[in-house]
Amino acid sequence: MASRYDRAITVFSPDGHLFQVEYAQEAVKKGSTAVGIRGTNIVVLAVEKKSVAKLQDERTVRKICALDDHVCMAFAGLTADARVVINRARVECQSHKLTVEDPVTVEYITCFIATLKQKYTQSNGRRPFGISALIVGFDDDGIPRLYQTDPSGTYHAWKANAIGRSAKTVREFLEKNYTEDAMSNDNEAIKIAIRALLEVVQSGGKNIELAVIRRNQPLKMFSAKEIELQVTEIEKEKEEAEKKKSKKNV
Amino acid sequence: MALQDVCNWQAPDTQESSLHLPQVSGWTLPRGCDPQAFLQIHGPKLAHGTTTLAFRFRHGVIAAADTRSSCGNYVACPASQKVIPVHQHLLGTTSGTSADCATWYRVLQRELRLRALREGQLPSVASAAKLLSTMMSRYRGLDLCVATALCGWDRSGPALFYVYSNGTRLQGDIFSVGSGSPYAYGVLDRGYRYDMTTQEAYTLARRAVAHATRRDAYSGGSVDLFHVRESGWEYVSQDDACVLYAELWEPKPSKEEEETSKAQS
Protein backbone atom coordinates (compact mmCIF):
# COMPACT_ATOMS: atom_id res chain seq x y z
CA MET A 1 0.00 0.00 0.00
CA ALA A 2 2.69 2.44 1.05
CA SER A 3 4.67 2.03 -2.14
CA ARG A 4 1.87 3.41 -4.28
CA TYR A 5 1.56 6.66 -2.32
CA ASP A 6 5.06 7.53 -1.34
CA ARG A 7 6.55 8.84 -4.57
CA ALA A 8 5.06 12.28 -4.90
CA ILE A 9 5.06 14.52 -1.90
CA THR A 10 1.76 16.17 -2.71
CA VAL A 11 -0.24 12.95 -2.65
CA PHE A 12 -2.02 11.75 0.47
CA SER A 13 -2.33 8.04 1.11
CA PRO A 14 -5.85 6.68 1.76
CA ASP A 15 -5.21 6.56 5.48
CA GLY A 16 -4.08 10.16 5.62
CA HIS A 17 -0.28 9.85 5.58
CA LEU A 18 2.18 11.96 3.70
CA PHE A 19 4.79 9.29 3.29
CA GLN A 20 7.56 11.56 2.06
CA VAL A 21 7.27 13.62 5.24
CA GLU A 22 7.44 10.48 7.35
CA TYR A 23 10.47 9.27 5.45
CA ALA A 24 12.06 12.67 6.08
CA GLN A 25 11.46 12.12 9.78
CA GLU A 26 13.28 8.80 9.43
CA ALA A 27 16.21 10.66 7.90
CA VAL A 28 16.25 12.90 10.95
CA LYS A 29 16.44 9.85 13.21
CA LYS A 30 19.66 8.90 11.50
CA GLY A 31 21.33 12.20 12.33
CA SER A 32 23.51 12.75 15.39
CA THR A 33 21.77 13.67 18.61
CA ALA A 34 21.12 17.24 19.69
CA VAL A 35 19.79 18.34 23.07
CA GLY A 36 18.24 21.66 24.04
CA ILE A 37 17.64 22.86 27.62
CA ARG A 38 15.73 25.92 28.72
CA GLY A 39 16.92 27.25 32.06
CA THR A 40 15.65 30.25 33.96
CA ASN A 41 18.50 32.52 32.91
CA ILE A 42 20.23 30.45 30.29
CA VAL A 43 19.52 28.30 27.25
CA VAL A 44 21.81 25.42 26.33
CA LEU A 45 22.35 23.48 23.12
CA ALA A 46 24.52 20.39 23.08
CA VAL A 47 25.17 18.16 20.07
CA GLU A 48 26.97 14.92 19.46
CA LYS A 49 29.97 15.49 17.23
CA LYS A 50 30.42 12.84 14.62
CA SER A 51 33.94 11.50 14.64
CA VAL A 52 35.92 13.09 11.83
CA ALA A 53 38.34 11.40 9.49
CA LYS A 54 42.04 11.77 10.24
CA LEU A 55 42.74 14.35 7.59
CA GLN A 56 39.52 16.31 8.03
CA ASP A 57 39.69 19.72 9.65
CA GLU A 58 37.47 19.47 12.69
CA ARG A 59 36.69 23.13 12.99
CA THR A 60 34.66 23.23 9.81
CA VAL A 61 32.06 20.83 11.08
CA ARG A 62 29.58 22.98 12.93
CA LYS A 63 26.18 21.85 14.04
CA ILE A 64 25.27 24.78 16.25
CA CYS A 65 24.73 27.99 14.27
CA ALA A 66 23.83 31.51 15.30
CA LEU A 67 20.86 32.94 13.45
CA ASP A 68 21.23 36.37 15.04
CA ASP A 69 22.88 37.81 18.16
CA HIS A 70 20.18 36.46 20.42
CA VAL A 71 18.99 33.29 18.65
CA CYS A 72 20.79 30.13 17.67
CA MET A 73 19.84 26.68 16.48
CA ALA A 74 21.06 23.11 16.31
CA PHE A 75 19.77 20.52 13.88
CA ALA A 76 19.63 16.79 13.32
CA GLY A 77 19.45 15.27 9.85
CA LEU A 78 20.80 16.18 6.44
CA THR A 79 23.56 18.77 6.81
CA ALA A 80 23.07 20.23 3.33
CA ASP A 81 19.36 20.82 3.92
CA ALA A 82 20.21 22.48 7.20
CA ARG A 83 22.60 24.85 5.49
CA VAL A 84 19.83 26.09 3.18
CA VAL A 85 17.35 26.55 6.01
CA ILE A 86 19.89 28.35 8.18
CA ASN A 87 20.78 30.74 5.38
CA ARG A 88 17.14 31.59 4.75
CA ALA A 89 16.57 32.10 8.47
CA ARG A 90 19.58 34.40 8.78
CA VAL A 91 18.37 36.52 5.89
CA GLU A 92 14.92 36.70 7.44
CA CYS A 93 16.36 37.84 10.77
CA GLN A 94 18.04 40.78 9.10
CA SER A 95 15.10 41.61 6.82
CA HIS A 96 12.85 41.71 9.85
CA LYS A 97 15.20 44.17 11.52
CA LEU A 98 15.21 46.30 8.39
CA THR A 99 11.46 46.36 7.88
CA VAL A 100 10.38 46.65 11.45
CA GLU A 101 13.35 47.99 13.48
CA ASP A 102 13.12 45.24 16.07
CA PRO A 103 15.09 41.98 16.28
CA VAL A 104 13.07 38.82 15.64
CA THR A 105 11.43 37.04 18.52
CA VAL A 106 12.43 33.38 18.85
CA GLU A 107 8.88 32.37 18.03
CA TYR A 108 8.80 34.48 14.90
CA ILE A 109 11.91 32.91 13.43
CA THR A 110 10.72 29.43 14.44
CA CYS A 111 7.41 30.10 12.73
CA PHE A 112 9.29 31.28 9.66
CA ILE A 113 11.42 28.14 9.52
CA ALA A 114 8.38 25.94 10.10
CA THR A 115 6.42 27.73 7.37
CA LEU A 116 9.36 27.28 5.00
CA LYS A 117 9.45 23.57 5.77
CA GLN A 118 5.71 23.26 5.28
CA LYS A 119 5.91 24.93 1.88
CA TYR A 120 8.21 22.19 0.75
CA THR A 121 5.66 19.57 1.79
CA GLN A 122 3.08 21.06 -0.50
CA SER A 123 5.01 21.86 -3.67
CA ASN A 124 5.48 20.03 -6.89
CA GLY A 125 8.81 18.54 -7.64
CA ARG A 126 10.34 19.25 -4.25
CA ARG A 127 11.04 17.06 -1.30
CA PRO A 128 10.74 18.08 2.36
CA PHE A 129 13.78 19.28 4.30
CA GLY A 130 15.28 16.31 6.11
CA ILE A 131 16.04 18.14 9.33
CA SER A 132 14.56 18.83 12.72
CA ALA A 133 15.78 21.95 14.43
CA LEU A 134 16.11 23.09 18.04
CA ILE A 135 15.90 26.86 18.20
CA VAL A 136 16.85 28.69 21.38
CA GLY A 137 17.21 32.27 22.44
CA PHE A 138 16.02 35.16 24.55
CA ASP A 139 13.37 37.64 23.52
CA ASP A 140 13.40 41.35 24.25
CA ASP A 141 11.30 40.71 27.34
CA GLY A 142 14.14 38.59 28.76
CA ILE A 143 12.24 35.30 28.70
CA PRO A 144 14.26 32.27 27.51
CA ARG A 145 12.72 30.06 24.84
CA LEU A 146 13.28 26.68 23.24
CA TYR A 147 11.38 25.53 20.16
CA GLN A 148 11.58 22.39 18.07
CA THR A 149 10.57 22.11 14.40
CA ASP A 150 10.25 18.94 12.34
CA PRO A 151 10.12 18.16 8.61
CA SER A 152 6.34 18.42 8.47
CA GLY A 153 6.48 22.08 9.41
CA THR A 154 5.01 21.92 12.90
CA TYR A 155 6.70 23.57 15.82
CA HIS A 156 6.29 23.41 19.57
CA ALA A 157 7.81 25.06 22.60
CA TRP A 158 9.68 22.80 25.00
CA LYS A 159 11.38 23.01 28.38
CA ALA A 160 13.91 20.42 27.27
CA ASN A 161 14.06 18.20 24.22
CA ALA A 162 16.28 16.03 22.09
CA ILE A 163 16.32 15.21 18.37
CA GLY A 164 18.20 12.78 16.18
CA ARG A 165 19.57 9.33 16.91
CA SER A 166 18.57 8.02 20.35
CA ALA A 167 16.36 11.02 20.93
CA LYS A 168 13.88 8.83 22.75
CA THR A 169 16.43 7.65 25.30
CA VAL A 170 17.63 11.15 25.91
CA ARG A 171 14.11 12.51 26.25
CA GLU A 172 13.29 9.85 28.84
CA PHE A 173 16.41 10.79 30.76
CA LEU A 174 15.38 14.45 30.65
CA GLU A 175 11.85 13.70 31.79
CA LYS A 176 13.28 11.95 34.83
CA ASN A 177 15.94 14.50 35.70
CA TYR A 178 14.73 17.93 34.57
CA THR A 179 13.44 20.06 37.45
CA GLU A 180 12.46 23.71 37.19
CA ASP A 181 14.24 24.51 40.47
CA ALA A 182 17.54 23.11 39.33
CA MET A 183 17.26 25.13 36.12
CA SER A 184 17.54 28.42 37.97
CA ASN A 185 21.22 27.55 38.34
CA ASP A 186 23.06 28.06 35.02
CA ASN A 187 25.63 25.41 35.77
CA GLU A 188 22.97 22.82 36.51
CA ALA A 189 21.35 23.50 33.16
CA ILE A 190 24.66 22.95 31.39
CA LYS A 191 25.33 19.80 33.36
CA ILE A 192 21.98 18.23 32.62
CA ALA A 193 22.53 18.79 28.90
CA ILE A 194 25.90 17.07 29.06
CA ARG A 195 24.62 14.26 31.26
CA ALA A 196 21.77 13.66 28.85
CA LEU A 197 24.17 13.42 25.91
CA LEU A 198 26.64 11.22 27.80
CA GLU A 199 23.88 8.61 28.03
CA VAL A 200 24.08 8.02 24.31
CA VAL A 201 27.45 9.34 23.15
CA GLN A 202 30.47 7.10 23.04
CA SER A 203 33.83 8.16 24.48
CA GLY A 204 32.64 11.03 26.62
CA GLY A 205 33.38 14.75 26.42
CA LYS A 206 35.51 14.67 23.28
CA ASN A 207 32.47 14.09 21.13
CA ILE A 208 30.27 16.83 22.55
CA GLU A 209 29.83 20.35 21.23
CA LEU A 210 28.11 22.84 23.54
CA ALA A 211 26.81 26.37 23.26
CA VAL A 212 24.93 28.62 25.66
CA ILE A 213 23.13 31.94 25.49
CA ARG A 214 22.71 33.90 28.70
CA ARG A 215 20.28 36.80 28.99
CA ASN A 216 21.57 39.91 27.17
CA GLN A 217 24.75 38.13 26.14
CA PRO A 218 25.77 36.76 22.77
CA LEU A 219 26.16 33.09 21.92
CA LYS A 220 29.07 31.38 23.66
CA MET A 221 30.58 28.21 22.25
CA PHE A 222 32.33 26.09 24.86
CA SER A 223 35.88 25.06 24.15
CA ALA A 224 36.93 21.44 24.48
CA LYS A 225 38.65 22.25 27.80
CA GLU A 226 35.50 23.79 29.31
CA ILE A 227 33.48 20.77 28.29
CA GLU A 228 36.07 18.46 29.82
CA LEU A 229 35.81 20.40 33.09
CA GLN A 230 32.08 19.91 33.15
CA VAL A 231 32.41 16.23 32.32
CA THR A 232 34.95 15.68 35.13
CA GLU A 233 32.60 17.41 37.57
CA ILE A 234 29.74 15.21 36.44
CA GLU A 235 31.81 12.08 36.87
CA LYS A 236 32.80 13.17 40.36
CA GLU A 237 29.16 13.73 41.27
CA LYS A 238 28.31 10.30 39.91
CA GLU A 239 30.98 8.64 42.02
CA GLU A 240 29.83 10.44 45.13
CA ALA A 241 26.24 9.47 44.48
CA GLU A 242 27.30 5.85 44.06
CA LYS A 243 29.34 5.91 47.26
CA LYS A 244 26.34 7.21 49.15
CA LYS A 245 24.21 4.46 47.69
CA SER A 246 26.68 1.76 48.63
CA LYS A 247 26.95 3.17 52.18
CA LYS A 248 23.20 3.03 52.54
CA ASN A 249 23.14 -0.52 51.29
CA VAL A 250 25.74 -1.57 53.85
CA MET B 1 -17.35 69.20 -37.34
CA ALA B 2 -16.66 71.65 -40.07
CA LEU B 3 -15.09 74.31 -37.84
CA GLN B 4 -12.84 71.67 -36.27
CA ASP B 5 -11.52 70.72 -39.68
CA VAL B 6 -10.94 74.28 -40.73
CA CYS B 7 -9.02 75.13 -37.57
CA ASN B 8 -7.15 71.82 -37.40
CA TRP B 9 -8.20 71.47 -33.80
CA GLN B 10 -7.66 68.10 -32.15
CA ALA B 11 -9.40 66.89 -28.99
CA PRO B 12 -6.81 66.44 -26.22
CA ASP B 13 -5.80 62.85 -25.63
CA THR B 14 -6.99 62.12 -22.09
CA GLN B 15 -5.74 58.56 -22.02
CA GLU B 16 -2.12 59.36 -22.54
CA SER B 17 -0.73 59.52 -19.01
CA SER B 18 -0.40 56.31 -17.03
CA LEU B 19 -2.59 55.63 -14.03
CA HIS B 20 0.11 56.51 -11.58
CA LEU B 21 1.10 59.97 -12.70
CA PRO B 22 -1.03 62.93 -11.64
CA GLN B 23 -2.98 64.66 -14.40
CA VAL B 24 -1.29 67.79 -15.64
CA SER B 25 -3.84 68.79 -18.26
CA GLY B 26 -5.40 72.09 -17.30
CA TRP B 27 -2.08 73.89 -16.77
CA THR B 28 -0.80 75.96 -19.61
CA LEU B 29 2.86 75.18 -20.00
CA PRO B 30 5.60 76.50 -22.23
CA ARG B 31 6.13 74.37 -25.28
CA GLY B 32 8.68 71.62 -24.93
CA CYS B 33 8.66 71.46 -21.14
CA ASP B 34 8.16 68.24 -19.24
CA PRO B 35 5.03 68.96 -17.17
CA GLN B 36 6.21 67.18 -14.00
CA ALA B 37 9.54 68.97 -13.83
CA PHE B 38 8.00 72.33 -14.70
CA LEU B 39 5.37 72.07 -11.98
CA GLN B 40 7.87 70.97 -9.43
CA ILE B 41 9.98 74.05 -10.03
CA HIS B 42 7.39 76.70 -10.82
CA GLY B 43 4.07 75.30 -9.73
CA PRO B 44 2.09 76.32 -6.65
CA LYS B 45 3.82 75.33 -3.46
CA LEU B 46 1.44 73.78 -0.98
CA ALA B 47 3.10 74.48 2.34
CA HIS B 48 1.03 71.92 4.29
CA GLY B 49 -1.36 74.54 5.61
CA THR B 50 -1.78 73.42 9.17
CA THR B 51 -0.25 73.39 12.61
CA THR B 52 0.24 70.09 14.35
CA LEU B 53 2.59 69.31 17.15
CA ALA B 54 3.56 66.39 19.34
CA PHE B 55 5.98 65.99 22.19
CA ARG B 56 6.85 63.20 24.57
CA PHE B 57 7.37 63.60 28.29
CA ARG B 58 7.38 61.50 31.43
CA HIS B 59 3.66 60.86 31.51
CA GLY B 60 3.17 60.01 27.85
CA VAL B 61 2.93 61.78 24.52
CA ILE B 62 0.85 64.87 23.79
CA ALA B 63 -0.55 65.46 20.31
CA ALA B 64 -2.28 68.70 19.38
CA ALA B 65 -3.49 70.17 16.11
CA ASP B 66 -5.62 72.92 14.64
CA THR B 67 -8.70 72.03 12.59
CA ARG B 68 -8.52 74.21 9.50
CA SER B 69 -8.31 72.50 6.11
CA SER B 70 -7.31 75.01 3.48
CA CYS B 71 -7.14 74.78 -0.29
CA GLY B 72 -5.11 77.78 -1.37
CA ASN B 73 -7.00 80.80 -0.01
CA TYR B 74 -10.22 78.90 0.61
CA VAL B 75 -11.03 77.25 3.91
CA ALA B 76 -12.32 73.90 2.76
CA CYS B 77 -13.22 72.69 6.23
CA PRO B 78 -13.00 74.64 9.50
CA ALA B 79 -13.48 71.58 11.66
CA SER B 80 -11.33 68.76 10.31
CA GLN B 81 -9.71 66.03 12.38
CA LYS B 82 -5.97 66.08 12.01
CA VAL B 83 -5.11 63.62 14.73
CA ILE B 84 -5.97 60.09 13.61
CA PRO B 85 -6.00 57.11 15.98
CA VAL B 86 -4.22 54.05 14.61
CA HIS B 87 -4.86 51.70 17.51
CA GLN B 88 -5.38 51.91 21.25
CA HIS B 89 -1.80 53.01 21.92
CA LEU B 90 -0.91 54.90 18.76
CA LEU B 91 -1.99 58.22 17.29
CA GLY B 92 -0.78 60.10 14.25
CA THR B 93 -0.87 63.82 13.64
CA THR B 94 -1.34 64.49 9.95
CA SER B 95 -0.28 67.27 7.68
CA GLY B 96 0.05 67.63 3.93
CA THR B 97 -2.62 66.27 1.63
CA SER B 98 -5.57 65.17 3.75
CA ALA B 99 -6.56 62.42 1.36
CA ASP B 100 -3.06 60.94 1.29
CA CYS B 101 -2.84 61.02 5.07
CA ALA B 102 -6.20 59.33 5.52
CA THR B 103 -5.41 56.59 3.01
CA TRP B 104 -1.96 55.81 4.31
CA TYR B 105 -3.17 55.68 7.87
CA ARG B 106 -5.76 53.10 6.94
CA VAL B 107 -3.06 51.05 5.23
CA LEU B 108 -0.89 51.38 8.34
CA GLN B 109 -3.76 50.26 10.57
CA ARG B 110 -4.22 47.17 8.45
CA GLU B 111 -0.49 46.35 8.46
CA LEU B 112 -0.23 46.70 12.24
CA ARG B 113 -3.34 44.66 12.86
CA LEU B 114 -2.08 41.81 10.65
CA ARG B 115 1.27 41.77 12.39
CA ALA B 116 -0.38 41.82 15.80
CA LEU B 117 -2.44 38.77 14.84
CA ARG B 118 0.55 36.91 13.47
CA GLU B 119 2.99 37.70 16.22
CA GLY B 120 0.74 37.94 19.24
CA GLN B 121 1.66 41.52 20.10
CA LEU B 122 1.33 44.93 18.51
CA PRO B 123 4.49 46.19 16.81
CA SER B 124 6.36 49.01 18.55
CA VAL B 125 6.02 52.64 17.52
CA ALA B 126 9.46 52.41 15.90
CA SER B 127 8.20 49.49 13.80
CA ALA B 128 5.06 51.35 12.80
CA ALA B 129 7.11 54.35 11.74
CA LYS B 130 9.50 52.13 9.76
CA LEU B 131 6.61 50.37 8.02
CA LEU B 132 4.92 53.64 7.12
CA SER B 133 8.08 55.25 5.79
CA THR B 134 9.05 52.21 3.66
CA MET B 135 5.53 51.98 2.22
CA MET B 136 5.53 55.63 1.25
CA SER B 137 9.10 55.76 -0.03
CA ARG B 138 8.04 53.48 -2.89
CA TYR B 139 5.92 56.35 -4.20
CA ARG B 140 8.69 58.89 -4.04
CA GLY B 141 8.58 61.46 -6.82
CA LEU B 142 4.87 60.94 -7.38
CA ASP B 143 3.70 63.91 -5.33
CA LEU B 144 2.59 62.07 -2.23
CA CYS B 145 2.53 64.56 0.61
CA VAL B 146 2.24 63.13 4.08
CA ALA B 147 4.06 64.73 7.00
CA THR B 148 3.09 63.01 10.19
CA ALA B 149 4.17 62.46 13.76
CA LEU B 150 3.42 59.03 15.21
CA CYS B 151 2.76 59.27 18.94
CA GLY B 152 2.47 56.14 20.99
CA TRP B 153 3.24 54.18 24.10
CA ASP B 154 4.93 50.80 23.62
CA ARG B 155 7.21 48.44 25.56
CA SER B 156 9.92 51.10 25.66
CA GLY B 157 7.61 53.78 27.11
CA PRO B 158 6.40 56.96 25.40
CA ALA B 159 7.67 57.11 21.81
CA LEU B 160 7.50 59.76 19.11
CA PHE B 161 8.55 59.51 15.45
CA TYR B 162 8.30 61.95 12.56
CA VAL B 163 7.65 60.41 9.15
CA TYR B 164 7.63 62.23 5.85
CA SER B 165 6.45 60.84 2.53
CA ASN B 166 9.88 60.95 0.91
CA GLY B 167 10.90 58.30 3.40
CA THR B 168 12.33 60.48 6.20
CA ARG B 169 11.92 58.91 9.58
CA LEU B 170 13.20 60.67 12.68
CA GLN B 171 12.95 59.97 16.37
CA GLY B 172 12.69 62.92 18.71
CA ASP B 173 11.16 64.53 21.78
CA ILE B 174 9.37 67.46 20.11
CA PHE B 175 7.99 67.73 16.60
CA SER B 176 5.79 70.35 15.00
CA VAL B 177 4.66 70.02 11.41
CA GLY B 178 2.98 72.41 9.01
CA SER B 179 2.95 76.03 7.97
CA GLY B 180 2.35 77.13 11.56
CA SER B 181 5.19 75.04 12.96
CA PRO B 182 7.80 77.82 13.33
CA TYR B 183 5.44 79.69 15.65
CA ALA B 184 4.63 76.55 17.58
CA TYR B 185 8.31 75.58 17.89
CA GLY B 186 9.05 78.97 19.45
CA VAL B 187 6.57 78.38 22.24
CA LEU B 188 7.43 74.69 22.66
CA ASP B 189 11.16 75.21 22.89
CA ARG B 190 10.59 77.82 25.57
CA GLY B 191 8.33 75.76 27.80
CA TYR B 192 9.30 72.10 27.24
CA ARG B 193 10.69 69.95 30.05
CA TYR B 194 10.66 66.14 30.12
CA ASP B 195 9.49 66.21 33.74
CA MET B 196 6.40 68.38 33.24
CA THR B 197 3.17 67.51 34.96
CA THR B 198 0.27 66.49 32.76
CA GLN B 199 -1.53 69.80 33.29
CA GLU B 200 1.59 71.77 32.37
CA ALA B 201 1.91 69.70 29.21
CA TYR B 202 -1.71 70.37 28.24
CA THR B 203 -1.24 74.10 28.77
CA LEU B 204 1.98 74.13 26.76
CA ALA B 205 0.42 72.30 23.82
CA ARG B 206 -2.67 74.50 23.75
CA ARG B 207 -0.56 77.63 24.02
CA ALA B 208 1.72 76.57 21.16
CA VAL B 209 -1.13 75.85 18.75
CA ALA B 210 -2.99 79.01 19.77
CA HIS B 211 0.05 81.17 18.99
CA ALA B 212 0.47 79.44 15.65
CA THR B 213 -3.15 79.93 14.65
CA ARG B 214 -2.83 83.60 15.56
CA ARG B 215 -0.05 84.29 13.08
CA ASP B 216 -0.44 81.62 10.41
CA ALA B 217 -3.23 82.21 7.89
CA TYR B 218 -3.56 78.53 7.06
CA SER B 219 -4.13 77.45 10.66
CA GLY B 220 -7.20 78.12 12.73
CA GLY B 221 -10.56 76.82 13.80
CA SER B 222 -10.21 74.85 17.00
CA VAL B 223 -7.40 73.22 18.90
CA ASP B 224 -7.68 69.44 19.41
CA LEU B 225 -5.66 67.98 22.25
CA PHE B 226 -4.84 64.27 22.67
CA HIS B 227 -2.79 62.45 25.29
CA VAL B 228 -1.33 58.97 24.91
CA ARG B 229 -0.82 57.31 28.26
CA GLU B 230 0.27 53.85 29.25
CA SER B 231 -3.38 52.80 29.25
CA GLY B 232 -4.10 54.16 25.77
CA TRP B 233 -4.94 57.41 24.05
CA GLU B 234 -7.41 59.97 25.38
CA TYR B 235 -9.13 62.89 23.66
CA VAL B 236 -8.50 65.61 26.22
CA SER B 237 -10.20 68.72 24.86
CA GLN B 238 -11.29 70.82 21.93
CA ASP B 239 -11.11 74.59 22.33
CA ASP B 240 -11.82 77.38 19.88
CA ALA B 241 -8.48 78.86 18.81
CA CYS B 242 -9.43 82.54 19.19
CA VAL B 243 -10.97 82.04 22.61
CA LEU B 244 -7.90 80.09 23.69
CA TYR B 245 -5.55 82.83 22.53
CA ALA B 246 -7.53 85.49 24.38
CA GLU B 247 -7.46 83.38 27.53
CA LEU B 248 -3.70 83.26 27.40
CA TRP B 249 -3.63 86.94 28.33
CA GLU B 250 -6.55 86.84 30.75
CA PRO B 251 -6.39 83.41 32.30
CA LYS B 252 -9.78 82.08 33.47
CA PRO B 253 -9.77 82.32 37.29
CA SER B 254 -9.74 78.90 38.88
CA LYS B 255 -12.73 77.92 40.98
CA GLU B 256 -10.95 78.68 44.26
CA GLU B 257 -10.01 82.18 43.17
CA GLU B 258 -13.59 82.85 42.08
CA GLU B 259 -14.96 81.76 45.43
CA THR B 260 -12.45 83.82 47.43
CA SER B 261 -13.18 86.91 45.32
CA LYS B 262 -16.94 86.38 45.77
CA ALA B 263 -16.49 85.96 49.52
CA GLN B 264 -14.44 89.12 49.72
CA SER B 265 -16.80 91.34 47.71
Cβ pair B126:A141 closer than 8 A: no
Cα–Cα dist A33/A202, whole Å: 12
B264 is a domain residue: no
Beta bridge partners of A38: A43
Picking from A100, A107, A111, the nearest residue to B127 by CB comes out as A100
Task: Average the pLDDT over each of A3-7, A184-188, B62-66 and give the range with the smallest value.
Answer: A3-7
Confidence of residue B20 (pLDDT cuts 50, 70, 90): very low
- Which residues, at least 6 apart from B181, have a Cβ–Cβ distance to it below 8 Å? B51, B52, B53, B212
- Which residues, at least 6 apart from B17, have a Cβ–Cβ distance to it below 8 Å? B23, B24
Residue B13 has pLDDT above 80, yes or no: no
Q: Mean pLDDT over residues B234-247, rounded?
A: 92
Substitution target from B108, B115, B119 for chain A, most A beta carbons within 10 A: B119
pLDDT for position B76: 84
Per residue in A79-107, pLDDT (tens digit) is 999 999 999 999 999 999 998 888 999 99
Residue A202 has pLDDT above 80, yes or no: no
Confidence of residue B54 (pLDDT cuts 50, 70, 90): very high
Q: By the 8 A CB rule, do A219 and A72 touch?
A: yes
Flag whether residue A141 sits within 8 Å of chain B, measured between CB atoms: yes
Catalytic-role residue among B14, B28, B50, B93: B50
Cβ pair A99:B120 closer than 8 A: no
Cα–Cα dist A145/A157, whole Å: 7
Cβ pair B124:A101 closer than 8 A: yes
The whole-chain average pLDDT of chain B stands at 84
Share above pLDDT 70 across residues of chain B, in percent, rounded to a whole number: 77
- Strands (E) located in chain A: 34-38, 42-48, 64-68, 71-77, 131-138, 144-149, 155-157, 160-163, 208-214, 220-221
Per residue in A115-133, pLDDT (tens digit) is 999 999 988 888 899 999 9
Run of H or E including B93:
strand B90-93
Per residue in B192-220, pLDDT (tens digit) is 999 999 999 999 999 999 999 999 998 99
Task: Average the pLDDT over each of A57-71, A77-91, B144-158 and give the range with the smallest value.
Answer: A57-71
Q: Mean pLDDT over residues A139-151, rounded?
A: 93
Closest-CA residue to A134 (of A157, A101, A103): A157
Domain that holds residue B67: 48-248
Looking at residue A64, its amino acid is: I
DSSP secondary structure letter of residue B253: P
Residues of A in contact with B134 (CB under 8 A): 99
Flag whether residue A143 sits within 8 Å of chain B, measured between CB atoms: no
Q: By the 8 A CB rule, do A69 and A214 touch?
A: no
Number of folded domains that form chain B: 1
- For residue A106, the chain B residue with the least C-alpha distance is B119
Could you give the C-alpha distances from A179 to A235, A241, A244, in angstroms and in order? Answer: 20, 18, 22
Q: What angle do CA A46, A49, A50 make, to 5 degrees?
A: 150
Q: By the 8 A CB rule, do A115 and A153 touch?
A: yes
Task: Average the pLDDT over each of A58-62, A159-163, B89-93 and give the range with the smallest value.
Answer: A58-62
Confidence of residue A17 (pLDDT cuts 50, 70, 90): confident
Q: Mean pLDDT over residues A54-67, rounded?
A: 82
B172: domain CATH number is: 3.60.20.10
Cα–Cα dist A150/A129, whole Å: 9
Give the length of chain A: 250
Picking from B120, B130, B155, the nearest residue to A100 by CB comes out as B130
- For residue B169, the chain A residue with the least C-alpha distance is A101
Could you give the C-alpha distances from A110 to A72, A101, A139, A156, B119, in angstroms and in order? Answer: 11, 19, 13, 9, 11
Flag whether residue B231 sits within 8 Å of chain A, measured between CB atoms: no
Residue A138 has pLDDT above 70, yes or no: yes
B155 is a domain residue: yes
- Which residues, at least 6 apart from B49, have a Cβ–Cβ distance to it below 8 Å? B68, B69, B70, B178, B179, B216, B217, B218, B219
B233 is a domain residue: yes
Neighbour-count burial for A202-221, b at 16+ CB within 10 Å, e otherwise: eebbebbbbbbbeeeeebee
pLDDT for position B28: 62
pLDDT for position B22: 46
Distance from CA of A100 to the nearest CA of B (A): 4
B82 is a domain residue: yes
Q: Mean pLDDT over residues B95-104, rounded?
A: 88
pLDDT for position B251: 59
Cα–Cα dist B62/B160, whole Å: 10
- Which residues, at least 6 apart from A200, have a Cβ–Cβ distance to it below 8 Å? A33, A48, A165, A166, A169, A170
Given the DSSP bridges, would you call strands B52-57 and A220-221 parallel, antiparallel or unpaired? unpaired
pLDDT for position A172: 95
Predicted TM-score (pTM) of the model is 0.78
Residues of A in contact with B120 (CB under 8 A): 107
B23 is a domain residue: no
B27 is a domain residue: no
Cα–Cα dist B35/B37, whole Å: 6
Q: Which residue has the higher pLDDT, A8 or A83?
A: A83
